[in-house]
Structure 1
Amino acid sequence: MGQKTGIEWTEATWNPIRGCSRVSEGCRHCYAETVANRFKGPGEPYEGLIAKGGQWNGEVKLLEHKLAEPCRWSKPRTIFVNSMSDLFHPAVSFETIAGIFGIMAAASWHTFQVLTKRPERMLEFFQWIDQHPERKDFDSPQARSQLGTDHWIPFFLAQKASELLPDGGAGLTVDIKGCWPLDNLWLGVSVEDQATANHRIPQLLNTPAAVRWISAEPLLGPVDLSSLPYPSKVSGNLHWVVVGGESGTHARPMHPDWARNLRNQCQSAGVPFLFKQWGEWLPVLGQSEGVPIRGRKHSFEDGTFMGWAGKKHAGRRLDGRIWDEYPEATQ
């Protein structure tokens, strides 16, 4: 059984890497950083990964004993990769990333979800694969005739996984399909406002992936997908949008129109939309009927009032309903 999780859009988490560093305003109240602070003492899981000020210190640890976990989980499930890190953090080598991709290629009965705030490094990783000196060992005319262009890559990645595993992967049950992009891998970027959307989403759209998605959480400002540098690609190459407000003691409120506008854009483009949560804050009128507001209130410039209800009470209904739409893998 995989590690259970309360994350609404996945079934399990897999953390072969621990540690990270802040990269943008959406990281200010990082939930993973908060968890790591609780277990940073001597002998505890996050020892050496937290700075004196309580932030990630940029150090990253590879957990070799965690690498093969998905290959041992026989029941298919949807797995969020590195909920406690960023797979494309600069402290994670491309060889290590390739090995983790290799595990995902080998455990093809699962669906893996990857999120990053560093899409530029994600693109560099795929370029590194294409230019790797070992390519000649996998990408032969015979392989191309049997598998097709680029379908050598999953086998290259599986080899990198075997080089990372302490026992070379002996005894593991694997199922490498040889398809590229991996049809069981959803690659996504986290965005929190228009600036991060403008920077990260176009790079995602240029990344080879069966499913491309965005997690707009915490949503700290409006996001207009039509204003991106490549707006014509959004409806065809973006397959899923998840939206959520911030949670935690110092959570910032999310204007309801920011979530509604993204939902409306998704509906117009035919893109599945999932509303994960309000976070700690809830609109005071209408949405909050019957929900206890705990004293704290916030007013946006347009007069919209938000009340602090707490994550549990705020819930995840947007305009009276649950939005739980999911993508289908597409090539």
Structure 2
Amino acid sequence: MAENSKIEWTDHTFNPWIGCQNVSAGCDHCYAETLMDKRYGKVQWGPRGERKRTSAANWRKPRQWAKAARGTGKRPRVFCASLADVFDNKAPYGARADLWSMILDTPELDWLLLTKRPENIAKMLPVSWGEGPSNVWLGTTCEDQRAYDRRWPVLRDTPAKVRFISYEPAIGSIDVGIDGPWPDWIICGGESGPGARLMKPEWADLMLMQCRNRGIAFFMKQMTGKAPIPDDLLVRQWPEVA
């Protein structure tokens, strides 16, 4: 459950546990559910489903990545979690506390924590959070305007070094508004699995234009079905971190 990632915007993925449940329209074609529940039968998805902590060997991986990064001048990015949600209220007992400890013990890594449950963040942060550790980026998935209007204001008011939006799967247009503060970074992408819903190219064009006008870093991950990205959309930026 930890690996050198094929996800274009990160270096590694780490899953402290696996399992989740759908919370909005963006979850309807969840690749993690397809893999872990329907294909491999690792966990049962849904409100009565389970969350399984990953192996001790898997938990050792981030410390290995941190050790390898020392003295290199590079800061590997770790996406946590691709097969779960860090702010799930059904997380295995003690696993989230152990995750916070590991994040603090690996300052060489930038941890990208992405959730569809930003309303849970404040009550699940460690008491030492303060303005947020310098190696943690907090993000939330916003698949359309409704999700953005509900989730971004919560994340906006949460202290963090970097706040970002995963606009994936994009199933509707998003207007980030004329008044900030805005996200530091927006990742844009269409669905790619069976029955993928269409991301209209003009939605991505609109988001890129908004990012350019507001100084937001923009990362175009993929078109629907992993079709070739048009040249005018092939922009892949990361936020500037002091």
| TM-score calculated relative to the size of structure 2 | 0.89
- For the 8 Å contact 2:139–2:163, the answer to whether it is kept is yes
Number of the residue aligned with 1:204 = 155
Q: Which residue of 2 aligns with 1:315?
A: 228
Structure 1, unpaired ranges of 5+? 41-45, 131-152, 155-178, 281-310
Query: Is the Cα contact below 8 Å between 1:317 and 1:323 reproduced in 2?
Result: no
What is the aligned partner in structure 2 of residue 218 from structure 1? 169
Unaligned runs of 5+ in 2: 70-75
Distance 1:187 1:94, change over 3 A: farther
Residue 21 to residue 110, structure 1, CA distance change in 2 (3 Å): same
1:183 Cα deviation after fit: 1.1
Counterparts in 2 of 1:105 and 1:222: CA distance versus 1, 3 Å:
same
Structure 2 partner of 1:50: 44
2:152 alignment partner AA: I
Tell me how far 1:95 sits from its aligned partner: 4.6
Corresponding residue for 1:92?
A: 91
Inter-partner Cα distance in structure 1 for 2:32 and 2:83: 5
1:132-167 Cα distance to aligned partner (Å, 9 max, x none): xxxxxxxxxxxxxxxxxxxxx27xxxxxxxxxxxxx
- 8 A Cα contact 1:184 1:329, kept in partner: no
Q: Among 60, 63, 88, which residue is 1:68 paired with?
A: 60
Q: CA deviation at 1:67?
A: 2.5
- Structure 2 distance, partners of 1:315, 1:5, is 20
SS in 2 for 1:91: coil
1:193 matched to 2:144: yes
Paired position in structure 2 for 1:250: 195
Report how far residue 315 of structure 1 moved: 2.4
Partner of residue 233 from structure 1, selected from 156, 165, 181: 181
CA distance in 2, matches of 1:119, 1:273: 21
* Change in 2 beyond 3 A, CA 1:21/1:197: same
Q: 1:55-104, CA deviations, whole angstroms, 9 ceiling, x for partnerless residues?
A: 68531112251323211222232111111111111102685323212211
SS in 1 for 2:239: coil
Correspondences of 1:71-220 after superposition (within 5 Å)? 71-73=63-65, 74-76=67-69, 77-92=76-91, 95-126=94-125, 129-130=126-127, 153=128, 180-220=131-171
Q: How many residues align?
A: 232
Q: Which residue of 1 aligns with 2:73?
A: none
**Structure having the higher Rg:** 1
State how far apart, in whole Å, the 2-side matches of 1:316 and 1:27 are: 23
Aligned counterparts of 1:94 and 1:115: Cα–Cα separation in 2: 20
RMSD: 2.0
Give, in whole Å, the separation in 2 of the partners of 1:277 and 1:192.
Answer: 14
CA distance 1:94–1:269, change in 2 (3 Å): farther
Output the amino acid matched with 1:103: M
Separation (CA, whole Å) in 2 of partners of 1:250 and 1:318: 25
Q: 1:253-294 CA distances to partner (integer Å, 9 max, x unpaired)?
A: 0111111111111100111100000021xxxxxxxxxxxxxx
> 1:240 deviation in Å?
0.4
8 Å Cα contact 1:33/1:56 also seen in 2: no
SS in 1 for 2:236: coil
Q: Kindly provide the CA deviation profile for residues 16-39 of structure 1, in whole angstroms up to 9, marking residues without a partner as x.
A: 110000000000001111111221
